[in-house]
Structure formats: structure tokens, C-alpha cells
Structure 1
Amino acid sequence: GRLVLPVMRYLALILLIVALARPQSGHTREIIYGEGVDIAIVLDISGSMAALDFEPNRLGAAKQVIHDFIEGRQYDRIGLVIFSKEAFSQVPPTLDYQVLERVLNETKVSWDLGLDSATSIGLGLANGANMLRDSQAKSRVIVLLTDGANNSGQIDPLTAAQIAKSLDIRIYTIGAARPGPALLPFPDGHIEYRDSEIDEESLKEIANLTGGLYFRAEDRQGLQQIYDTINQLERSQVEVRLFTRYTELAAWLIVPAGLLLGIEMLLRRTLFRTIP
């Protein structure tokens, strides 16, 4: 039993020695200065996006590359608009990239008019511009990807581009299709060759009007390079500073050391008192 007393004294001594070294606990905070870019991804999901000239198909390749593009951003709010015959704002500009990527992964080709492929580029752009209309970001960007020409919808693409320009929104346009016919599987199971219908002149005009750029992608690798280029052109003006606040831990050691010494002295004078 008497062995308890020196053990308690040694423990108290060790705690006091460690306390003299002034151990500290640090809590680090990120403080962000500046702001990111607000981006609306406007994605064609019309039937022709099922064409097999890209691996696994045009839409599948676009989704993979857009996923990588999102992963390459950090402080930018990104939203998603999809369009075929109609246009839908799927995800408003957000920093929650997990939600954005989940919705993107669930996006499928839309066959609106039986076996015909309806493409409302103007509606897609108008939805993208509307999504960014109330944005407070200094830099606002639409990235449009399509494999066709505008053949549906009530809004002309150039009218939508004018709206975007008036809101100081840049539009990058991407035409995604190889020249010539491509194999296209239809919902009823048959496959046939369909010619590419990209209206490059309109896509160039939309980009030029708003201060953006037009790109043509003929395979997944080309598409990847285009999104990498846009990634570099639209860098966030963000500075991140780390601040660390330190907390002294010595008090947490001195208190138990004092308690141990007090108990040791009490035991020495009572339970383990030496009788002369």
C-alpha cells in the first residue's frame, strides 16, 4: 500500500515538469478574402447526346469532364441547367459540390418528341442568365455545351445572349460532336447514323457577343482540354489566410498535479502515518 505514495508523488512531478514546458493546443481558422466566380453549366440533354462518337456517348463524356471541372474549383458557386425541348434549372449556384455532382450523375438523355431530337439552346441560355441575374459576384460565367442547332423553344439564342451581355455575363460555347455521321441508338432499340448538326456560326456569335470563346470538341480528350482551358481563364480572385489561436494547457496539468500531491500528503499523515 505504501508504494502508492511515491507513485502519486512521481506522477505529480511528471505533470508539473510537462506543465513547465507550456504545452499549447492550436485551433486553425481559414479566413477567405475576395470572391469566387459564379458559374452556370448549361448542358444539352437532347436525344442526339446519346450518339456514340464519344466514349461512352456524348452526354456521358460531357458529364465525366464536367465532374472533373467541378472538382477543379474550390470557392466558386456553380449551378446546373439542362435543356432539350424545354430547359430546367436543376441546381442553383452553390458551393455544395456533392449535391451538384449527384444531380449531374443522375442526368439522362431526354427524348422529347418521340424519335426526334429537340434542342432549345435559347431557352437553356435564358435559364442560365436568369440563374446568375441576382448574383453579387464580379465574375459571372455561362458554360454552354451542345451538339446541335437551335430547333425548338420560344427564345432565339442570340436574344438570350443579348440578355446575358446586358447582365455582364460571359458565355463560353462548346460544340461537342465529330464531323460527319455518328451512330445514334434510339429508345426503341434501333441504331442509325445521324449527321452532326452543330451551328458553329451561332455558337461563335454568342461567345463573341458576350466576351467569351467558342470551342469545338471531337472527342473526350478534346472536351477535357476545353474545360481545362476555361478553368484557367476563369480563376477565382480568392486569397486564403490561416489564423491559429493557441490555448495554454498548463493549467490542465497543474490542477491534477496539485490534487495528487494533496492526496499524497493526506494519506501520508492519516492512513499511512508512521507511528514512532
Structure 2
Amino acid sequence: RSMQAEDVKPTRLRAAKTLLTDLVHQDIKNRFGVIGFTTNAIVLSPLTNDAELLTYLFKGVDETLIMTKGSAIMPALELSRKMSHAASPILFLLTDGGDKDDYSEEAMFAKQNGLIVNVLMLASLSGSTLKGWDGTLLKGENGDIVITSQNRAIKILSTMTGGVYIDGADLSKVQEVIAAQSDNAYKSKTKMVQYEELFYYFIALGLLFFMFSATTLFSNLQKLLRRRSLR
């Protein structure tokens, strides 16, 4: 439930949704894919420049759809690598840092598999309390009030893979990074394969997992995709 925290206004999850919505409407030349994960990972959207479809997806995501506790980044990295035929896919992790103290294994996997991982930190150093579904403050097993704050251990993912660490939901910075990295990737790839397409991936940490496929939202997304394919 850490994405419910209000240290990033209005909440971490809503800030992520707003940033992504604004991005896909302003960046019309690139295609975006979305992977959601907690302890599992699933493709929420294949690569598309359909801003209407992506906006519908982002609007439908909320905290009530998160069925598992905790988060694991490795499944999302593995899935993003499988999704792309590009030599160096560009990823953004929208995250509060997750639960681990050491992400060396994930960083090594990303580096060995050519992933450029940018980390967009959606949490503050001071942190925030969390509320249960009944509105009361969440407490740990020892009775202490739970405080969730940013976990900078995840920065190693960007450091080791040539990515960028961004503190906060900074749309302009994200746009700058996309422009710079896509340009570098294009120059690099055109030296080897003139017509190989570039791929761009956005990973929204802690949004959904495999049970998403059973929700009404996913059913509606499938209907929308079918309607648009008939145009």
C-alpha cells in the first residue's frame, strides 16, 4: 500500500498516473508500453501511441486493485527484456524504492541484458504514514505506526545501466531523458541496423499484477482495443 502515501501529492500513485497521462498526450512521436507489478509482472499495454487507450488504462488503476503485499522488480525487468527485440530498451521505474536493501542482482541482470533503467523516485526522505481501508493508521506487528519513505538502494539500477535517477514526478526531466536517450540509441543502432525500430517501456511500480486480467477494467480495455482495431 505504499503507493497510497501522501508525501508526494496528492498520493504517490496519483502523481504517477498524472505524469504518465501528461506524457503520452504531449509525446506523440514515441510509442509506450506499460508493465505493472507487485510480486508478479504483467503487460498492461503493448507498445502503442494511442493516448486515449493509455489514458483509459491509467484512469482505471487505483489502490484497490493491488492484491499483493510487497514488490519485486526482477520479474518486471525480465518481462521487459522479453518484450523487446531492441539491443538497449529504455525503461522508467516509477517507484518508492521497494522493500530490498540491495538491488545488485537486479542491476546486474539489467546491465547484462542491455536494459537502460531510469528510476523515477516517488517518495520523500521523511516518508509518510499509511491508512488502512477503514481510515485508521497502519501499524506494524510491534504496534508502531508504519512509516514508508524512499529507498535509495534502488539507485544502483540507474547507476549501473547508464540510466538517470529522477527525484519526484518531474515531467520535463522525464521528457529530457527520453529525448537524449532515444537520440543516443538511434545514432548507435543506425550504425548497425539501419531500419531496426526503437522500443520504449514504462514500468509503473506497484500498480497491478496477474489478477488484473480478471478485473472489469481489463475487460473494458479489451473491448476498447477491439473497437479501435476495426477502424
Pairwise TM-score range, normalised by the shorter structure: 0.5 to 0.7
1:160 deviates by: 3.9
Q: Is the 8 A contact 1:147 1:175 kept in 2?
A: yes
Bigger-Rg structure (1/2):
1
3-state DSSP of counterpart to 2:29: coil
1:44-123 correspondence to structure 2 within 5 Å: 47-109=1-63, 110-113=65-68, 117-123=69-75
Which structure carries more strand by proportion? 1
Q: Is the 8 A contact 1:119 1:150 kept in 2?
A: yes
**Could you say which residue in structure 1 is the equivalent of 2:225?**
none
3-state DSSP of counterpart to 2:28: coil
Provide the C-alpha distance between the structure 2 equivalents of 1:146 and 1:78, rounded to a whole number of angstroms. Answer: 18
Q: Is the 8 A contact 1:86 1:123 kept in 2?
A: yes
Identical-pair percentage: 23
CA RMSD of aligned residues (A): 2.7
1:81 deviates by: 0.6
Provide the C-alpha distance between the structure 1 equivalents of 2:43 and 2:104, rounded to a whole number of angstroms. Answer: 20
Provide the C-alpha distance between the structure 1 equivalents of 2:106 and 2:147, rounded to a whole number of angstroms. Answer: 26
The TM-score with structure 2 as length reference comes to 0.65
Aligned residues: 177
Change (3 A) 1:76 1:172: same
**Could you say which residue in structure 1 is the equivalent of 2:135?**
189
Query: Which residue, out of 167, 172, 179, partners 1:216?
Result: 167
Unaligned regions of 5+ residues in structure 2, if any?
139-144, 188-231
Query: Which residue, out of 126, 133, 152, partners 2:78?
Result: 126
1:143 deviates by: 0.4
Provide the C-alpha distance between the structure 1 equivalents of 2:28 and 2:78, rounded to a whole number of angstroms. Answer: 26
**Could you say which residue in structure 1 is the equivalent of 2:175?**
228
Equivalent position amino acid for 2:83 in 1: M
Q: Is the 8 A contact 1:184 1:194 kept in 2?
A: yes
